[in-house]
Structure 1
């Protein structure tokens, strides 16, 4: 009886939320202020299509408190949990090498108002990329997306690549289909396992990069994934790579978990990214 009750509750939750609760875990907590670790960041507010404000941080290239001449501008699409006050640390190490970046919160994350969905996160991606391109037209543009943010980033590039020149796209620990990603989440929870196929009914891939990866070419593409990723299975990353066209690279992090390729200052992934940035943004 308890098992049946649990199944009914799970079904009700999935129906009410359209599976969105499986994808988005936003909060408004401040995890670490950049100033506390000596980094300069500019608060940026960008108006989205619904006239709500998207909050972003712009990090200028800097080293030991001094600003550097930027070599390129990176637009950072973060993952599905927390907010920019935790995720910005992922690329902070690039600042001293002369690379600036802008990271933003989707609707419902941090100080950005609204509710996240595949449609709204994509709209926010469009809005931010257009803003950054207009604000820094002289700088080469690089797109970096992690986890769920990778899917948003890839689709944003597909939609805007003819309008905005992009030098490099990097997708770390991500996937091609929201339906498949949600199905993977359900498969890991025994109580929700029977509902896996519902993701294909309750969740749409209309705003995903599903089936359109080949359109990113000829922009250089890097797909990164750890072979011990317990959140997004490495097969999802391999699927992305197979469906993309050249020029493309697959960077495997041996023993790597979810989005931790850059965690160590000595990580091979840091060296590879610096080389790739120098190659595409000379």
Structure 2
């Protein structure tokens, strides 16, 4: 056996070992990559945000018995309820600046902390988060019958929002920085691994959105590098309902969003769609 052949064989073996090690690392630690907020303590700077916005706290049971923490404000007579699903690195309190305006308009607010995140039990898991979203909706319509429901989601929260819109009666959906699917995003970023076999939480929003029949409004930054705007547009391309796509110039995945104009457009959409559904 020549030295060159031996060196090539060793190099090939090392390459295969490295490939398998990377795959194993992703498989074992993917929840930490996808749900970073679930592995961090609740930020102390968010303490008091809920009460300042006029929200109560509540816990409800998920389908498997897990406890889901909610921020809650009851709607005024005839007003809609906005169910808010937070992003992977944020929490329900992160949207207190929106809740204040919605509450002032008489809207109800229900904002769950995702499974596995601080104050909600269970392990962070994509499919169970989708099921939890349906459970939150079902609890909301029983607690406040007759009120139109709007779902709001940002980033990771857009997939549970669309799951609810696809399988339950809602008046409309507000999506901020949505993706076609987590599967497609990770495949684009790591094309050399069999992601479809490794990813436990594929968040197949693309499989749900075709069943949505109510209006959708999407906001997406044109400088978003985490969820490229092309992923949001790909989601729109397979939708079968009325979708308004708002490009936020100069905005990234989190920075540059929620200008006064964007907040006003969200409020206008909620009012218009909930009025139509009454």
Deviation per CA, 1:61-105: give whole Å up to 9, x if none.
6xxxxxx66721100011112432334445443332332211111
Structure-2-length-normalised TM-score: 0.82
Structure of greater Rg: 2
Aligned to 2:3: none
Match of 1:141 among 136, 149, 158: 149
Separation in 2, partners of 1:131, 1:114? 19
CA contact (8 A) 1:84 1:110 kept: no
Unaligned 5+ residue runs, structure 1?
62-67, 188-192
Separation in 2, partners of 1:145, 1:137? 22
- Size of the aligned set, in residue pairs, is 259
Unaligned 5+ residue runs, structure 2?
1-10
Q: Higher helix share goes to which structure?
A: 2
Aligned to 1:279: 272
Aligned to 1:269: 262
CA contact (8 A) 2:182 2:202 kept: no
Pair 131,259 (structure 1): closer, same or farther in 2 beyond 3 Å = farther
RMSD of aligned C-alpha atoms?
2.7
Aligned to 2:206: 210
Aligned to 2:187: 183
Match of 2:46 among 32, 35, 39: 32
Deviation per CA, 1:188-218: give whole Å up to 9, x if none.
xxxxx5x65332221257752223422102x
Match of 1:11 among 23, 40, 46: 23
Pair 75,156 (structure 1): closer, same or farther in 2 beyond 3 Å = same
Pair 196,173 (structure 1): closer, same or farther in 2 beyond 3 Å = farther
For residue 107 of structure 1, report the CA deviation from its aligned partner: 1.3
Match of 1:172 among 157, 169, 176: 176
Match of 1:258 among 246, 253, 256: 253
- Tell whether 2:122 aligns with 1:114: yes
Aligned to 2:224: 229
Separation in 2, partners of 1:198, 1:20? 17
For residue 281 of structure 1, report the CA deviation from its aligned partner: 1.8
Deviation per CA, 1:24-76: give whole Å up to 9, x if none.
11233143134587322111111011212110111356xxxxxx667211000
Match of 2:66 among 52, 65, 68: 52
Separation in 1, partners of 2:223, 2:32? 24
How do 1:81-100 and structure 2 match up within 5 A? 81-100=89-108
CA contact (8 A) 2:129 2:160 kept: yes
- Tell whether 2:133 aligns with 1:157: no
Match of 2:31 among 15, 20, 35: 20
CA contact (8 A) 1:227 1:256 kept: yes
Separation in 2, partners of 1:178, 1:121? 14
CA contact (8 A) 1:229 1:256 kept: yes
CA contact (8 A) 2:219 2:245 kept: yes
Equivalent residue of 1:81, what SS? coil
